[in-house]
Amino acid sequence: MQFTYQIEDIQSVADAILKQLTSKTLLFYGDMGSGKTTLIKALSKQLGTLEIVNSPTFSIVNEYEIQNDLIYHFDLYRIENEEEALNFGIEDYLFSDHYVFIEWPERIAHLLPEDYTKITIKLNLDGSRTLYID
């Protein structure tokens, strides 16, 4: 599936993504500034969080409450290796049956569960984004 959208249409894109999810683990790929965190904010809002969603670049993981569930939002840009992720217990989050949103998942490629949705975002020259879902 593929979407090209303007940033002001992000909520409708988030809604479309959530309607076709087959996994609660979403992996977000894209260059710095492509809109990964912005999309995660929109997805979290669609899922019902009332909390302010920010990039967990320095804390590694943020947790958001939604009705009868949780969202774990990871930004793995700053981790050095998979061992570092294991040291903070990432496997407990990955296999928790809660929503898990991961920015920079390529940093823990060997630790990822088999069941996930891959989302790749590309920033286009005109400022729009093209999103690919696998």
**What DSSP string runs through 60-118?**
SEEEEEETTEEEEEEE-TT--SHHHHHHTTHHHHHTSSSEEEEESGGGGGGG--SS-EE
Other CB atoms closer than 10 Å to residue 50's CB: what's the count?
9
Q: What's the pLDDT at 116?
A: 96
Q: Any idea where the domains of the chain sit in the sequence?
A: 2-133
Q: What's the pLDDT at 49?
A: 94
Mean pLDDT per 10-residue interval, the chain, length 134 residues: 94 95 96 95 95 83 95 95 95 95 97 96 96 94
CATH class of 2-133: alpha beta
Q: What's the pLDDT at 56?
A: 81
At 4, list the tokens.
């090209």
